[in-house]
Each structure stands twice: as C-alpha cells, then as structure tokens.
Amino acid sequence: MKCDNCQAVLSGEPTCPACGTLYTVSGGGGSIPSLVQELETRLARALEGRYEMRGLLGHGGMGAVFLAAETSLDRLVAIKVLPPTLSMDEELLSRFQREAKT
C-alpha cells in the first residue's frame, strides 16, 4: 500500500513513515481513519464535561481537527490534535505550537 500524499510505501503504522500523513483502513461501509478514530475517542474522554465532540472536520499530515461544542460557553470550537507518533518530533511540536498561537 502507498501513501496517497507522497506515494511512499506504508509500513503498517497509521501514519506515513515519509510525510506523516494519516491513512485510512477499510471497514464497516467505507473508509475509516483508524488513528483519527482513536484520537477522537481519547480526546472525548479527556475533555468530557467541558466539550461535546461533534465529529471530524479534517485530517492530514499534522494531525486531525475535530468540531466540538464548548458546553460552558455554548459555542462551537475546532480542536486540533497532533498524533502521538509525531509529538516526539521537536521540530513538528514547535511548529504545532506556533500554529496554535496564531
């Protein structure tokens, strides 16, 4: 199997070893982003009571963005999550933090 983004050979991990793009696996009626699904489950648990997860807005090489309702302020927010496999890369982590600040 090859990465849709850069055409590198995928190694069985949920992200491309060359560019970090999340890739999907087949399942139950369509394509399911396995790592994204895991991230959403963990995020929902971590933010329970403060945010209500509404679904995936998008995903790519830098992670996934979810739509959530912030319960205390009754507003919709976007929450971006960096995959655990990429959070160990200091340069990517720094870029992610700079993006969050902007």
Mean pLDDT by 10 residues, the chain (102 residues): 74 67 44 65 89 84 84 92 78 85 84
Say what the pLDDT of residue 17 is: 73
Confidence (pTM) = 0.60
Say what the pLDDT of residue 30 is: 32
For residue 68, list its beta bridge partners: 53, 77
Q: Structure tokens of 98?
A: 């700079």
Say what the pLDDT of residue 75 is: 95
Any alpha helices (H) in the chain, and if so which ranges?
A: 34-46, 90-101
